[in-house]
């Protein structure tokens, strides 16, 4: 029956790519709305789940409306990721790895819903809130992978001959992840734990009253290491004979890191005002998307035999034939 349905209904690669774009946008949006819930002290705006104060409609109270709005956005995201998952089986030509990535998205959203319920049940325990955010970022990884891979057939993108350059780009990933993790710990140690007046929510206090400052200092140090490493990789990719495809997105990463550092300094000096902290989170989300773009643009490596595997559309340097040997020149971004 399923095979018969697949034969009757097909979706073009272009149309499916549009579906994955909507899904990726929704995954990024849910990170930002989730941050808004916490920063506006609305984490317990609806003290039960999935209903709000026992009903499907929240009372006309700011925190309840904000929290319920985030849940509605999550539900709409669920529709988008289910579409991205289901339609991957009807894409022509069918690609198995797109279907596997697509399946991860609704599973992740279900996991988000379960974690969200636990966050509310256990009064915004910082460990659970961190897990909620980290799962959101993992979903963003999967969403970007689906978004990117749906735009190319496997043979359309030239593989890179620049092994050291590609691995240098990939080495930035754990630094970025550690920086984000430290940022979530800082949020869980600070004044934006998610509760409004009259509620008690636990915070990280493993360094006593100095916990927030201690974590922020480590977060800033990691961000600085990440930034310096990114500059080093940017310069390395520009070396003669290097593959420069990842230069453009890595430049975006560097610009966002510089702006994010400035915003981070301002928010600390101003004692963490809500609006600026939200901008900091938004920049972190954009920076991570740019980092994923950099990894994708750097591409996969050619086998060590040195035989060219594929040529990317529009990626062959000017004047170079598609069959030119690997290592001859550098592709464009």
Q: What is the pLDDT of residue 37?
A: 81
pLDDT for the residue 327: 36
Specify the DSSP element, H or E, that contains 178.
helix 172-189
pLDDT at 210: 83
> How far is residue 291's CA from residue 297's CA, in Å, rounded to a whole number?
10
Q: Judging by beta carbons within 10 Å of its beta carbon (0-12, 13-18, 19+), is residue 251 exposed, middle or buried?
A: middle
Could you tell me the sign of the dihedral formed by the alpha carbons of 14, 95, 84, 131, in that order?
Answer: negative
Spatial neighbors of 151 by CB under 8 A, at least 6 apart, are 13, 17
- Bond into 241 cis (ω within 30): no
pLDDT at 248: 95
pLDDT at res. 143: 94
Structure tokens at 96: 């198995």
- In tens digits, the chain (333 residues) has pLDDT values of 555 555 667 899 999 999 999 999 999 988 888 888 877 777 677 777 777 887 787 787 877 888 888 888 888 888 889 999 999 999 888 888 999 999 999 998 888 888 878 877 777 778 888 888 888 889 999 999 999 999 988 778 888 989 999 999 999 999 999 999 988 888 777 765 545 454 445 667 777 778 888 998 999 999 999 999 999 999 999 999 889 999 999 999 999 999 999 999 998 888 888 888 889 989 999 999 999 999 999 998 888 764 554 444 444 333 333 333 333 333 333
**Three-state DSSP class for residue 160:** strand
The pLDDT of residue 113 is 81
Structure tokens at 61: 């109270």
Q: What Å distances lie between residue 322 and 240, 296, 309, 313, CA to CA? A: 21, 21, 11, 10
Task: Compute, in degrees rounded to 10, the torsion defined by CA atoms 237, 243, 248, 254.
Answer: -20
pLDDT reported for residue 317: 36
- Dihedrals phi, psi of 11, to nearest 5 degrees: -125, 135
What pLDDT does 314 receive? 42
Q: What is the pLDDT of residue 193?
A: 53
Q: What's the pLDDT at 9?
A: 74
């Amino acid at each position: 029956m399923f095979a018969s349905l697949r034969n009757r209904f097909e979706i073009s690669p272009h149309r499916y790519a549009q579906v994955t774009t909507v899904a990726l946008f929704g995954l990024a949006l849910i990170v930002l709305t989730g941050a808004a819930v916490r920063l506006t002290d609305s984490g317990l705006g609806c003290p039960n789940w999935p209903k709000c104060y026992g009903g499907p409609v929240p009372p006309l109270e700011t925190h309840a409306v904000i929290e319920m709005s985030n849940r509605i956005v999550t539900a709409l995201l669920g529709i988008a990721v289910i579409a991205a998952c289901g339609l991957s089986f009807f894409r022509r030509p069918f690609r198995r790895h797109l279907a596997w990535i697509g399946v991860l998205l609704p599973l992740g959203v279900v996991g988000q819903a379960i974690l969200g319920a636990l966050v509310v049940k256990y009064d915004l325990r910082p460990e659970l809130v961190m897990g909620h955010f980290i799962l959101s970022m993992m979903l963003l990884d999967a969403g970007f992978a689906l978004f990117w891979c749906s735009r190319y057939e496997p043979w359309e993108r030239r593989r890179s001959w620049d092994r050291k350059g590609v691995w240098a780009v990939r080495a930035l990933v754990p630094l970025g992840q550690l920086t984000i993790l430290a940022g979530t710990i800082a949020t869980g140690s600070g004044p934006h734990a998610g509760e409004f007046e009259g509620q008690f929510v636990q915070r990280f206090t493993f360094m006593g009253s100095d916990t927030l400052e201690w974590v922020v200092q480590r977060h800033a140090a990691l961000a600085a290491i990440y930034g310096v490493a990114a500059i080093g990789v940017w310069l390395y990719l520009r070396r003669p004979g290097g593959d420069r495809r990842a230069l453009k997105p890595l430049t975006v990463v560097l610009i966002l890191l510089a702006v994010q550092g400035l915003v981070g300094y301002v928010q600390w000096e101003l004692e963490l005002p809500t609006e600026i902290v939200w901008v900091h989170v938004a920049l972190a989300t954009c920076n991570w998307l740019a980092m994923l773009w950099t990894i994708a643009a750097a591409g996969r490596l050619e086998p060590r035999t040195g035989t060219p595997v594929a040529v990317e559309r529009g990626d062959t340097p000017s004047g170079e034939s598609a069959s030119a040997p690997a290592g001859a020149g550098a592709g464009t971004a």
